[in-house]
Homo-oligomer: A and B are copies of this chain.
Amino acid sequence: MLHQELRFLLHHTADARSLLARDAFAHLEAADLDAILASADALAAKEFAPIAAALDHEKPRFLDGSVKTHPRLARAFDAYARGGYLATGLAHDAGGLQAPAALTTALMAIFGAACTPAAGYAFLTTAAARLIHAFGDAWQRETFLPPLREGRWTGTMCLSEPHAGSALGEVRTRAIRRDDGAYSVVGSKMWISGGDHDFADNIVHLVLARIDGGEARASGLSLLIVPKIGLDGRANDVRTIGLNDKLGHRATSNCALAFGQDTGCVGYLIGRPHEGLAVMFHMMNEARIGVGVTAAATAYAGFRYAAGYAGARIQGRNPRTGAPARIIEHADVRRMLLIQKAIAEGGLCLCLAAARLVDDANTHPDPHEAHTATRRLAVLTPLVKLWCAERGVEANSLAIQVLGGAGYVRDHPVERLFRDQRLNPIHEGANGILALDFVMRGLRRDGGAVVEGILTQLHLETADLARDTPEAAGLGEAVRIVGDALRRLAVGDGDAAQAWASPAALMTGDLLVACLWLRQMAVLAGQGDDFADGKRAAARCFLRLILPQSLAVAREILTETPPPHLTVSSSVFSA
Protein backbone atom coordinates (compact mmCIF):
# COMPACT_ATOMS: atom_id res chain seq x y z
CA MET A 1 0.00 0.00 0.00
CA LEU A 2 2.72 2.43 1.00
CA HIS A 3 4.54 2.16 -2.31
CA GLN A 4 1.30 3.00 -4.12
CA GLU A 5 0.78 6.05 -1.92
CA LEU A 6 4.36 7.11 -2.54
CA ARG A 7 4.02 6.53 -6.25
CA PHE A 8 1.01 8.83 -6.30
CA LEU A 9 2.83 11.54 -4.37
CA LEU A 10 6.03 11.16 -6.35
CA HIS A 11 4.34 11.54 -9.70
CA HIS A 12 1.47 13.86 -8.89
CA THR A 13 2.71 16.23 -6.23
CA ALA A 14 6.51 16.00 -6.65
CA ASP A 15 6.22 15.76 -10.45
CA ALA A 16 8.94 13.16 -10.84
CA ARG A 17 8.64 13.07 -14.63
CA SER A 18 9.93 16.60 -14.97
CA LEU A 19 12.95 15.57 -12.89
CA LEU A 20 13.70 12.60 -15.09
CA ALA A 21 13.96 14.91 -18.07
CA ARG A 22 17.15 16.36 -16.62
CA ASP A 23 20.61 15.16 -17.57
CA ALA A 24 21.43 14.02 -14.06
CA PHE A 25 18.53 11.57 -14.10
CA ALA A 26 18.31 10.76 -17.79
CA HIS A 27 19.29 7.16 -17.05
CA LEU A 28 16.00 6.62 -15.18
CA GLU A 29 12.45 6.31 -16.45
CA ALA A 30 9.22 6.69 -14.53
CA ALA A 31 8.71 2.94 -14.66
CA ASP A 32 12.10 2.48 -12.99
CA LEU A 33 11.01 4.58 -10.05
CA ASP A 34 7.83 2.54 -9.68
CA ALA A 35 9.75 -0.71 -9.90
CA ILE A 36 12.28 0.40 -7.31
CA LEU A 37 9.49 1.43 -4.94
CA ALA A 38 7.72 -1.88 -5.39
CA SER A 39 10.93 -3.90 -4.87
CA ALA A 40 11.78 -1.89 -1.78
CA ASP A 41 8.32 -2.48 -0.37
CA ALA A 42 8.74 -6.21 -0.96
CA LEU A 43 12.14 -6.27 0.70
CA ALA A 44 10.90 -4.21 3.64
CA ALA A 45 7.96 -6.57 4.06
CA LYS A 46 10.23 -9.62 3.94
CA GLU A 47 13.23 -8.54 6.02
CA PHE A 48 12.35 -5.44 8.04
CA ALA A 49 8.72 -5.50 9.18
CA PRO A 50 8.86 -9.06 10.57
CA ILE A 51 11.80 -8.31 12.88
CA ALA A 52 10.62 -4.97 14.26
CA ALA A 53 8.95 -6.42 17.36
CA ALA A 54 11.82 -8.79 18.18
CA LEU A 55 14.45 -6.08 17.76
CA ASP A 56 12.50 -3.83 20.08
CA HIS A 57 12.03 -6.56 22.65
CA GLU A 58 15.57 -7.94 22.56
CA LYS A 59 17.37 -4.63 22.49
CA PRO A 60 21.14 -4.30 21.95
CA ARG A 61 23.25 -5.38 24.93
CA PHE A 62 26.49 -3.96 26.21
CA LEU A 63 28.86 -6.85 26.96
CA ASP A 64 32.61 -6.71 27.58
CA GLY A 65 32.88 -3.24 26.14
CA SER A 66 31.02 -4.00 22.90
CA VAL A 67 27.46 -3.74 21.71
CA LYS A 68 25.76 -6.99 20.68
CA THR A 69 22.78 -6.58 18.39
CA HIS A 70 19.95 -8.92 17.48
CA PRO A 71 21.10 -11.60 15.00
CA ARG A 72 18.23 -10.79 12.63
CA LEU A 73 19.48 -7.24 12.24
CA ALA A 74 22.60 -8.40 10.39
CA ARG A 75 20.45 -10.27 7.91
CA ALA A 76 18.18 -7.29 7.24
CA PHE A 77 21.13 -4.93 6.81
CA ASP A 78 22.83 -7.39 4.52
CA ALA A 79 19.74 -7.80 2.35
CA TYR A 80 19.41 -4.01 2.15
CA ALA A 81 23.04 -3.65 1.10
CA ARG A 82 22.84 -6.47 -1.43
CA GLY A 83 19.71 -4.86 -2.87
CA GLY A 84 21.84 -1.79 -3.59
CA TYR A 85 19.80 0.54 -1.43
CA LEU A 86 22.82 2.01 0.32
CA ALA A 87 23.92 3.37 -3.03
CA THR A 88 20.61 4.43 -4.57
CA GLY A 89 21.23 8.09 -3.85
CA LEU A 90 24.98 8.12 -4.43
CA ALA A 91 26.32 9.74 -7.57
CA HIS A 92 27.50 7.64 -10.47
CA ASP A 93 31.10 8.50 -9.77
CA ALA A 94 30.62 7.26 -6.20
CA GLY A 95 29.40 3.96 -7.58
CA GLY A 96 25.76 4.76 -6.99
CA LEU A 97 22.51 4.79 -8.94
CA GLN A 98 22.30 8.60 -8.80
CA ALA A 99 18.58 8.59 -8.15
CA PRO A 100 16.74 11.81 -7.28
CA ALA A 101 16.31 12.74 -3.63
CA ALA A 102 12.57 12.47 -4.20
CA LEU A 103 13.04 8.76 -4.78
CA THR A 104 15.53 8.12 -1.99
CA THR A 105 13.25 9.97 0.39
CA ALA A 106 10.38 7.73 -0.66
CA LEU A 107 12.60 4.71 -0.06
CA MET A 108 13.37 5.94 3.43
CA ALA A 109 9.63 6.07 4.06
CA ILE A 110 9.29 2.45 3.02
CA PHE A 111 12.05 1.11 5.25
CA GLY A 112 11.17 3.57 8.02
CA ALA A 113 7.57 2.36 8.09
CA ALA A 114 8.74 -1.25 8.27
CA CYS A 115 11.36 -0.81 10.99
CA THR A 116 12.94 2.62 11.47
CA PRO A 117 15.49 1.56 14.07
CA ALA A 118 16.88 -1.19 11.82
CA ALA A 119 16.89 1.11 8.82
CA GLY A 120 18.66 3.75 10.92
CA TYR A 121 22.06 2.07 10.51
CA ALA A 122 21.58 2.05 6.75
CA PHE A 123 20.51 5.69 6.55
CA LEU A 124 23.53 6.76 8.60
CA THR A 125 25.84 4.71 6.41
CA THR A 126 24.57 6.29 3.22
CA ALA A 127 24.85 9.75 4.78
CA ALA A 128 28.48 9.10 5.72
CA ALA A 129 29.23 7.84 2.22
CA ARG A 130 27.63 10.90 0.66
CA LEU A 131 29.57 13.24 2.91
CA ILE A 132 32.86 11.53 2.14
CA HIS A 133 32.08 11.62 -1.56
CA ALA A 134 31.23 15.32 -1.40
CA PHE A 135 34.13 16.51 0.77
CA GLY A 136 36.75 13.78 0.96
CA ASP A 137 40.02 13.82 -0.95
CA ALA A 138 40.85 11.09 -3.45
CA TRP A 139 42.47 8.84 -0.83
CA GLN A 140 39.54 9.23 1.54
CA ARG A 141 37.07 8.42 -1.21
CA GLU A 142 39.03 5.38 -2.31
CA THR A 143 39.51 4.14 1.22
CA PHE A 144 36.14 4.71 2.81
CA LEU A 145 33.53 4.87 0.06
CA PRO A 146 33.49 1.31 -1.27
CA PRO A 147 33.07 -0.48 2.07
CA LEU A 148 30.36 1.98 3.13
CA ARG A 149 28.53 1.70 -0.17
CA GLU A 150 28.64 -2.07 0.00
CA GLY A 151 27.60 -2.26 3.63
CA ARG A 152 30.79 -3.92 4.81
CA TRP A 153 31.31 -0.90 7.05
CA THR A 154 28.71 1.45 8.58
CA GLY A 155 28.79 5.15 9.42
CA THR A 156 27.92 7.48 12.30
CA MET A 157 27.73 11.20 13.02
CA CYS A 158 29.49 12.19 16.27
CA LEU A 159 28.40 15.70 17.25
CA SER A 160 27.01 15.80 20.81
CA GLU A 161 29.03 15.49 23.97
CA PRO A 162 27.82 14.83 27.51
CA HIS A 163 27.77 18.56 28.33
CA ALA A 164 26.89 19.71 24.80
CA GLY A 165 23.71 18.36 23.27
CA SER A 166 22.15 21.21 21.34
CA ALA A 167 25.01 23.68 21.95
CA LEU A 168 27.77 22.51 19.66
CA GLY A 169 29.87 25.59 20.41
CA GLU A 170 30.80 23.86 23.66
CA VAL A 171 32.33 20.79 21.99
CA ARG A 172 35.60 19.84 23.77
CA THR A 173 36.88 16.93 21.67
CA ARG A 174 40.29 17.85 20.30
CA ALA A 175 42.29 16.67 17.29
CA ILE A 176 46.03 17.22 17.29
CA ARG A 177 47.93 17.13 14.03
CA ARG A 178 50.57 14.43 13.77
CA ASP A 179 53.69 14.44 11.69
CA ASP A 180 52.12 12.22 9.04
CA GLY A 181 49.28 14.68 8.45
CA ALA A 182 46.70 12.60 10.28
CA TYR A 183 45.28 13.69 13.65
CA SER A 184 45.22 12.28 17.15
CA VAL A 185 41.64 12.51 18.41
CA VAL A 186 40.90 12.86 22.13
CA GLY A 187 37.46 13.35 23.65
CA SER A 188 34.07 11.94 24.53
CA LYS A 189 30.93 11.83 22.45
CA MET A 190 27.36 11.16 23.55
CA TRP A 191 24.05 10.07 21.90
CA ILE A 192 25.84 8.39 19.00
CA SER A 193 23.33 6.37 17.01
CA GLY A 194 24.90 3.21 15.64
CA GLY A 195 27.98 4.11 17.70
CA ASP A 196 28.80 0.45 18.16
CA HIS A 197 27.39 -2.87 16.94
CA ASP A 198 28.65 -6.23 15.79
CA PHE A 199 27.28 -6.82 12.30
CA ALA A 200 29.83 -5.04 10.09
CA ASP A 201 33.60 -5.17 9.82
CA ASN A 202 34.19 -1.57 10.76
CA ILE A 203 32.44 1.65 11.78
CA VAL A 204 33.36 5.01 10.26
CA HIS A 205 32.76 7.81 12.75
CA LEU A 206 32.49 11.37 11.46
CA VAL A 207 33.68 13.33 14.50
CA LEU A 208 33.31 17.05 15.19
CA ALA A 209 36.43 18.20 17.02
CA ARG A 210 38.55 21.28 17.54
CA ILE A 211 41.99 21.40 15.92
CA ASP A 212 44.63 23.98 16.76
CA GLY A 213 43.50 27.43 15.78
CA GLY A 214 39.80 26.55 15.95
CA GLU A 215 37.87 29.32 17.63
CA ALA A 216 35.83 28.58 20.76
CA ARG A 217 32.52 28.51 18.98
CA ALA A 218 30.58 26.13 16.78
CA SER A 219 31.94 27.57 13.59
CA GLY A 220 35.50 26.85 14.73
CA LEU A 221 35.09 23.08 14.67
CA SER A 222 36.57 20.64 12.19
CA LEU A 223 35.36 17.26 10.98
CA LEU A 224 37.40 14.06 11.13
CA ILE A 225 36.95 10.59 9.75
CA VAL A 226 37.69 8.18 12.60
CA PRO A 227 37.42 4.44 11.85
CA LYS A 228 36.74 2.11 14.75
CA ILE A 229 39.32 -0.31 13.34
CA GLY A 230 42.39 1.44 12.01
CA LEU A 231 43.54 0.99 8.45
CA ASP A 232 46.31 -1.24 9.77
CA GLY A 233 43.62 -3.64 11.01
CA ARG A 234 44.17 -2.82 14.66
CA ALA A 235 41.72 -1.26 17.11
CA ASN A 236 41.83 2.54 16.83
CA ASP A 237 41.13 3.27 20.51
CA VAL A 238 37.46 4.14 20.06
CA ARG A 239 35.93 2.81 23.22
CA THR A 240 32.21 2.34 23.85
CA ILE A 241 31.71 3.46 27.42
CA GLY A 242 27.94 3.30 27.66
CA LEU A 243 24.78 2.18 25.89
CA ASN A 244 21.66 4.25 26.40
CA ASP A 245 18.48 2.48 27.44
CA LYS A 246 15.84 4.27 25.39
CA LEU A 247 12.07 4.64 25.35
CA GLY A 248 11.97 3.51 21.73
CA HIS A 249 14.12 3.23 18.63
CA ARG A 250 15.70 0.49 20.66
CA ALA A 251 17.29 -1.51 17.85
CA THR A 252 19.50 1.45 16.94
CA SER A 253 22.28 1.31 19.49
CA ASN A 254 22.90 4.70 21.03
CA CYS A 255 26.28 5.03 22.66
CA ALA A 256 28.66 7.11 24.67
CA LEU A 257 32.06 6.85 23.01
CA ALA A 258 35.54 7.73 24.24
CA PHE A 259 38.21 8.54 21.65
CA GLY A 260 41.93 8.24 22.28
CA GLN A 261 41.85 7.66 26.00
CA ASP A 262 44.36 4.82 25.88
CA THR A 263 46.58 3.73 22.98
CA GLY A 264 45.78 6.68 20.74
CA CYS A 265 43.10 7.29 18.14
CA VAL A 266 43.86 8.34 14.58
CA GLY A 267 41.50 10.53 12.56
CA TYR A 268 41.65 12.11 9.11
CA LEU A 269 40.55 15.70 8.54
CA ILE A 270 37.80 15.94 5.95
CA GLY A 271 36.96 19.23 4.32
CA ARG A 272 38.82 22.37 5.27
CA PRO A 273 40.03 23.13 8.81
CA HIS A 274 37.47 24.86 11.01
CA GLU A 275 34.69 24.23 8.52
CA GLY A 276 33.49 20.98 10.01
CA LEU A 277 30.10 22.25 10.96
CA ALA A 278 29.51 23.62 7.47
CA VAL A 279 30.50 20.23 6.03
CA MET A 280 28.20 18.44 8.43
CA PHE A 281 25.37 20.86 7.76
CA HIS A 282 25.78 20.43 4.05
CA MET A 283 24.31 16.99 4.67
CA MET A 284 21.91 18.22 7.32
CA ASN A 285 19.07 19.23 5.00
CA GLU A 286 18.80 15.71 3.73
CA ALA A 287 19.31 14.18 7.17
CA ARG A 288 16.48 16.31 8.52
CA ILE A 289 14.19 15.52 5.63
CA GLY A 290 15.12 11.91 6.39
CA VAL A 291 13.96 12.26 9.98
CA GLY A 292 10.83 13.98 8.75
CA VAL A 293 10.00 11.22 6.33
CA THR A 294 10.64 8.43 8.85
CA ALA A 295 8.36 10.31 11.26
CA ALA A 296 5.66 10.51 8.58
CA ALA A 297 6.24 6.85 7.75
CA THR A 298 5.96 5.85 11.41
CA ALA A 299 2.66 7.74 11.57
CA TYR A 300 1.61 5.98 8.38
CA ALA A 301 2.47 2.54 9.78
CA GLY A 302 0.41 3.24 12.89
CA PHE A 303 -2.47 4.55 10.78
CA ARG A 304 -2.55 1.49 8.51
CA TYR A 305 -2.46 -0.90 11.43
CA ALA A 306 -5.19 0.96 13.30
CA ALA A 307 -7.33 1.13 10.15
CA GLY A 308 -6.98 -2.62 9.63
CA TYR A 309 -7.84 -3.31 13.25
CA ALA A 310 -10.85 -0.98 13.20
CA GLY A 311 -12.13 -2.62 10.04
CA ALA A 312 -12.05 -6.07 11.64
CA ARG A 313 -12.77 -5.61 15.34
CA ILE A 314 -16.40 -6.09 16.31
CA GLN A 315 -17.44 -4.07 19.33
CA GLY A 316 -20.64 -2.33 20.30
CA ARG A 317 -23.59 -1.71 18.04
CA ASN A 318 -24.11 0.40 15.01
CA PRO A 319 -25.96 3.46 16.33
CA ARG A 320 -28.41 3.35 13.39
CA THR A 321 -29.07 -0.34 12.82
CA GLY A 322 -28.42 -1.80 16.26
CA ALA A 323 -26.44 -4.63 14.67
CA PRO A 324 -23.00 -5.62 15.97
CA ALA A 325 -20.56 -3.10 14.54
CA ARG A 326 -16.98 -3.07 13.38
CA ILE A 327 -15.48 -0.22 15.35
CA ILE A 328 -14.74 1.66 12.14
CA GLU A 329 -18.51 2.24 11.90
CA HIS A 330 -18.30 4.60 14.90
CA ALA A 331 -17.78 8.17 13.72
CA ASP A 332 -15.25 8.88 16.47
CA VAL A 333 -13.07 6.01 15.27
CA ARG A 334 -13.20 7.35 11.73
CA ARG A 335 -12.28 10.77 13.14
CA MET A 336 -9.16 9.28 14.72
CA LEU A 337 -8.26 7.43 11.54
CA LEU A 338 -8.84 10.42 9.30
CA ILE A 339 -6.63 12.67 11.44
CA GLN A 340 -3.89 10.05 11.25
CA LYS A 341 -4.30 9.84 7.49
CA ALA A 342 -4.24 13.62 7.16
CA ILE A 343 -1.01 13.82 9.18
CA ALA A 344 0.76 10.77 7.77
CA GLU A 345 0.01 11.30 4.09
CA GLY A 346 0.32 15.06 4.50
CA GLY A 347 3.74 14.55 6.05
CA LEU A 348 4.88 12.18 3.30
CA CYS A 349 3.76 14.75 0.75
CA LEU A 350 5.63 17.52 2.56
CA CYS A 351 8.82 15.46 2.67
CA LEU A 352 8.66 14.58 -1.00
CA ALA A 353 8.06 18.25 -1.82
CA ALA A 354 11.15 19.13 0.21
CA ALA A 355 13.15 16.36 -1.48
CA ARG A 356 12.04 17.77 -4.80
CA LEU A 357 13.55 21.09 -3.70
CA VAL A 358 16.80 19.23 -2.98
CA ASP A 359 16.72 17.88 -6.51
CA ASP A 360 15.94 21.32 -7.91
CA ALA A 361 18.76 22.86 -5.90
CA ASN A 362 21.16 20.24 -7.26
CA THR A 363 19.98 19.77 -10.82
CA HIS A 364 17.62 22.49 -12.01
CA PRO A 365 18.86 23.63 -15.43
CA ASP A 366 17.97 27.25 -14.68
CA PRO A 367 20.54 28.56 -12.17
CA HIS A 368 18.06 31.08 -10.83
CA GLU A 369 15.52 28.36 -10.07
CA ALA A 370 18.24 26.21 -8.51
CA HIS A 371 19.25 29.12 -6.31
CA THR A 372 15.65 29.76 -5.30
CA ALA A 373 15.29 26.10 -4.36
CA THR A 374 18.47 26.26 -2.24
CA ARG A 375 17.23 29.31 -0.36
CA ARG A 376 13.77 27.88 0.20
CA LEU A 377 15.22 24.63 1.37
CA ALA A 378 17.26 26.43 4.02
CA VAL A 379 14.08 28.02 5.34
CA LEU A 380 11.76 25.03 5.01
CA THR A 381 13.89 22.07 6.08
CA PRO A 382 13.59 22.73 9.83
CA LEU A 383 9.81 22.92 9.40
CA VAL A 384 9.68 19.62 7.52
CA LYS A 385 11.45 17.78 10.30
CA LEU A 386 9.72 19.44 13.25
CA TRP A 387 6.24 19.28 11.74
CA CYS A 388 6.38 15.58 10.85
CA ALA A 389 7.81 14.74 14.25
CA GLU A 390 5.36 16.74 16.33
CA ARG A 391 2.20 15.89 14.41
CA GLY A 392 3.53 12.35 14.07
CA VAL A 393 3.47 11.85 17.83
CA GLU A 394 -0.19 12.90 17.80
CA ALA A 395 -0.96 10.46 15.00
CA ASN A 396 0.76 7.52 16.68
CA SER A 397 -1.02 8.30 19.93
CA LEU A 398 -4.34 8.14 18.07
CA ALA A 399 -3.39 4.75 16.63
CA ILE A 400 -3.10 3.46 20.19
CA GLN A 401 -6.43 5.03 21.07
CA VAL A 402 -8.22 3.30 18.18
CA LEU A 403 -7.15 -0.06 19.60
CA GLY A 404 -8.00 0.84 23.20
CA GLY A 405 -6.49 -1.50 25.78
CA ALA A 406 -5.10 -3.65 22.97
CA GLY A 407 -3.14 -0.62 21.80
CA TYR A 408 -1.42 -0.34 25.16
CA VAL A 409 0.14 -3.81 25.13
CA ARG A 410 2.98 -5.36 23.23
CA ASP A 411 0.71 -7.72 21.26
CA HIS A 412 0.22 -4.99 18.66
CA PRO A 413 2.84 -2.71 17.06
CA VAL A 414 1.15 0.62 17.79
CA GLU A 415 2.72 1.13 21.23
CA ARG A 416 6.18 0.46 19.78
CA LEU A 417 5.59 2.88 16.91
CA PHE A 418 4.49 5.50 19.45
CA ARG A 419 7.73 5.02 21.41
CA ASP A 420 9.81 5.09 18.24
CA GLN A 421 8.08 8.25 17.05
CA ARG A 422 8.74 10.09 20.30
CA LEU A 423 12.43 10.30 19.38
CA ASN A 424 11.80 12.33 16.27
CA PRO A 425 11.06 15.69 17.95
CA ILE A 426 14.38 15.30 19.78
CA HIS A 427 17.11 14.10 17.44
CA GLU A 428 18.79 15.74 14.42
CA GLY A 429 18.11 19.13 15.97
CA ALA A 430 15.56 19.34 18.76
CA ASN A 431 12.28 20.79 17.51
CA GLY A 432 12.65 23.91 19.66
CA ILE A 433 16.09 24.63 18.20
CA LEU A 434 14.81 24.13 14.66
CA ALA A 435 11.91 26.47 15.37
CA LEU A 436 14.36 29.12 16.52
CA ASP A 437 16.35 28.58 13.34
CA PHE A 438 13.16 29.16 11.35
CA VAL A 439 12.09 32.40 13.07
CA MET A 440 15.52 33.90 13.71
CA ARG A 441 17.22 32.96 10.44
CA GLY A 442 14.65 31.62 8.00
CA LEU A 443 12.16 34.47 8.37
CA ARG A 444 14.92 37.05 8.09
CA ARG A 445 16.81 35.41 5.24
CA ASP A 446 17.51 37.88 2.43
CA GLY A 447 15.51 40.47 4.34
CA GLY A 448 12.46 38.23 4.41
CA ALA A 449 12.42 37.76 0.65
CA VAL A 450 12.56 33.96 0.79
CA VAL A 451 9.51 33.66 3.01
CA GLU A 452 7.67 36.27 0.93
CA GLY A 453 8.39 34.21 -2.14
CA ILE A 454 6.95 31.11 -0.53
CA LEU A 455 3.86 32.97 0.68
CA THR A 456 3.30 34.44 -2.75
CA GLN A 457 3.45 31.01 -4.31
CA LEU A 458 0.95 29.65 -1.77
CA HIS A 459 -1.31 32.63 -2.43
CA LEU A 460 -1.21 32.13 -6.19
CA GLU A 461 -1.73 28.39 -5.89
CA THR A 462 -4.75 28.68 -3.60
CA ALA A 463 -6.22 31.43 -5.76
CA ASP A 464 -5.74 29.26 -8.82
CA LEU A 465 -7.38 26.24 -7.23
CA ALA A 466 -10.24 28.23 -5.73
CA ARG A 467 -12.07 28.05 -9.04
CA ASP A 468 -12.59 24.29 -8.70
CA THR A 469 -12.12 23.59 -5.02
CA PRO A 470 -14.35 25.51 -2.60
CA GLU A 471 -12.02 24.65 0.28
CA ALA A 472 -9.32 26.78 -1.33
CA ALA A 473 -11.07 30.03 -0.46
CA GLY A 474 -10.68 29.53 3.28
CA LEU A 475 -7.13 28.44 2.75
CA GLY A 476 -6.33 31.66 0.91
CA GLU A 477 -7.44 33.55 4.00
CA ALA A 478 -5.22 31.27 6.12
CA VAL A 479 -2.23 32.12 3.93
CA ARG A 480 -2.92 35.79 4.57
CA ILE A 481 -3.22 35.46 8.36
CA VAL A 482 -0.19 33.23 8.76
CA GLY A 483 1.78 35.53 6.49
CA ASP A 484 0.86 38.54 8.62
CA ALA A 485 1.88 36.72 11.79
CA LEU A 486 5.22 35.66 10.31
CA ARG A 487 5.94 39.19 9.12
CA ARG A 488 5.26 40.42 12.64
CA LEU A 489 7.80 37.95 14.02
CA ALA A 490 10.42 38.87 11.41
CA VAL A 491 10.79 42.42 12.69
CA GLY A 492 11.93 43.69 16.07
CA ASP A 493 14.64 42.53 18.45
CA GLY A 494 13.70 38.89 18.31
CA ASP A 495 12.35 38.39 21.84
CA ALA A 496 8.80 37.83 20.67
CA ALA A 497 10.01 35.72 17.77
CA GLN A 498 11.97 33.46 20.10
CA ALA A 499 9.00 33.11 22.42
CA TRP A 500 6.60 32.27 19.60
CA ALA A 501 9.10 30.18 17.65
CA SER A 502 7.66 26.71 18.26
CA PRO A 503 3.97 27.51 17.82
CA ALA A 504 4.78 29.67 14.78
CA ALA A 505 6.87 26.96 13.16
CA LEU A 506 4.19 24.33 13.69
CA MET A 507 1.59 26.74 12.32
CA THR A 508 3.66 27.36 9.20
CA GLY A 509 4.08 23.63 8.74
CA ASP A 510 0.32 23.23 9.04
CA LEU A 511 -0.18 25.84 6.34
CA LEU A 512 2.29 24.16 3.99
CA VAL A 513 0.70 20.76 4.49
CA ALA A 514 -2.78 22.22 4.04
CA CYS A 515 -1.73 23.68 0.69
CA LEU A 516 -0.24 20.35 -0.33
CA TRP A 517 -3.50 18.64 0.62
CA LEU A 518 -5.29 21.06 -1.65
CA ARG A 519 -2.90 20.12 -4.42
CA GLN A 520 -3.69 16.44 -3.85
CA MET A 521 -7.40 17.23 -4.00
CA ALA A 522 -6.94 19.12 -7.23
CA VAL A 523 -5.04 16.26 -8.85
CA LEU A 524 -7.89 13.89 -8.01
CA ALA A 525 -10.73 16.20 -9.06
CA GLY A 526 -13.42 14.20 -10.76
CA GLN A 527 -12.00 10.83 -9.70
CA GLY A 528 -14.62 8.89 -7.74
CA ASP A 529 -12.99 5.81 -6.25
CA ASP A 530 -12.13 5.04 -2.63
CA PHE A 531 -8.58 6.32 -3.06
CA ALA A 532 -9.77 9.73 -4.22
CA ASP A 533 -12.65 9.86 -1.72
CA GLY A 534 -10.26 9.06 1.12
CA LYS A 535 -7.84 11.74 0.00
CA ARG A 536 -10.59 14.34 -0.19
CA ALA A 537 -11.90 13.42 3.25
CA ALA A 538 -8.39 13.60 4.72
CA ALA A 539 -7.85 16.98 3.07
CA ARG A 540 -11.09 18.32 4.53
CA CYS A 541 -10.17 16.85 7.88
CA PHE A 542 -6.87 18.70 7.78
CA LEU A 543 -8.54 21.96 6.80
CA ARG A 544 -11.26 21.75 9.43
CA LEU A 545 -9.80 19.87 12.40
CA ILE A 546 -6.11 20.74 12.36
CA LEU A 547 -5.41 23.99 10.51
CA PRO A 548 -7.91 26.15 12.45
CA GLN A 549 -6.01 25.45 15.66
CA SER A 550 -2.92 26.96 14.08
CA LEU A 551 -4.80 30.01 12.89
CA ALA A 552 -5.66 30.60 16.53
CA VAL A 553 -1.91 30.81 17.14
CA ALA A 554 -1.52 33.32 14.32
CA ARG A 555 -4.21 35.51 15.85
CA GLU A 556 -2.48 35.43 19.22
CA ILE A 557 0.80 36.48 17.62
CA LEU A 558 -0.99 39.33 15.89
CA THR A 559 -2.26 40.75 19.19
CA GLU A 560 1.39 41.75 19.80
CA THR A 561 0.90 41.14 23.52
CA PRO A 562 4.03 39.37 24.75
CA PRO A 563 3.23 35.75 25.54
CA PRO A 564 3.32 34.87 29.25
CA HIS A 565 6.37 32.64 28.99
CA LEU A 566 8.40 35.54 27.65
CA THR A 567 7.79 37.74 30.64
CA VAL A 568 7.55 35.20 33.46
CA SER A 569 10.51 34.85 35.78
CA SER A 570 12.33 31.51 35.91
CA SER A 571 12.03 31.52 39.67
CA VAL A 572 8.28 30.88 39.63
CA PHE A 573 8.97 27.30 38.59
CA SER A 574 10.60 26.51 41.90
CA ALA A 575 7.84 28.15 43.96
CA distance A435 to B336 in the complex (A): 13
Q: A338-B565, A530-B574 are in contact. Are A430 and B409 (CB under 8 A)?
A: no
- Contact flags A392-431 to B (C-beta < 8 A → 1, else 0): 0100010011001111111100010011001101110011
Which of the 9-residue segments A219-227, A243-251, A364-372, A376-384 touches chain B? Answer: A243-251
What's the interface size class on A, roughly? 35 or more
A293 contacts the other chain (CB 8 A):
no
Residue in B closest to A314 when the chains form the complex, CB atoms: B163
A541 contacts the other chain (CB 8 A):
yes
- Residues in chain B near residue A555, CB distance under 8 A: 548
CA distance A425 to B398 in the complex (A): 10
Residues of A545-559 whose CB lies within 8 A of B? 545, 548-549, 551-553, 555-556
**B409:A426 contact, CB within 8 angstroms:** no
Main secondary structure of the interface of A (DSSP, over half): helix
User: CB within 8 A of A407: which of B245, B426, B548?
Assistant: B426
Residue in B closest to A400 when the chains form the complex, CB atoms: B422
Residues of A321-380 whose CB lies within 8 A of B? 326, 328-338, 341
**A332:B405 contact, CB within 8 angstroms:** no
A453 contacts the other chain (CB 8 A):
no
CA distance A61 to B401 in the complex (A): 26
Please name 9 pairs of A and B residues whose Cβ atoms are closer than 8 Å in the assembled complex, sorted by A.
A190-B405, A244-B409, A247-B419, A307-B574, A336-B432, A400-B422, A404-B426, A537-B565, A538-B564
Which of the 9-residue segments A38-46, A174-182, A228-236, A491-499 touches chain B? Answer: A491-499
Closest-CB distance, A430 to chain B (whole angstroms): 5
- Residues in chain B near residue A529, CB distance under 8 A: 575
**B415:A503 contact, CB within 8 angstroms:** no
Residue in B closest to A573 when the chains form the complex, CB atoms: B307
A572 contacts the other chain (CB 8 A):
yes
CA distance A227 to B540 in the complex (A): 53
A285 contacts the other chain (CB 8 A):
no
- Residues in chain B near residue A556, CB distance under 8 A: 544-545, 548
Residue in B closest to A552 when the chains form the complex, CB atoms: B548
Residue in B closest to A567 when the chains form the complex, CB atoms: B537
**A335:B565 contact, CB within 8 angstroms:** yes
User: CB within 8 A of A499: which of B167, B331, B564?
Assistant: B331
- Residues in chain B near residue A333, CB distance under 8 A: 432
User: CB within 8 A of A335: which of B190, B246, B563?
Assistant: B563
CA distance A566 to B163 in the complex (A): 51
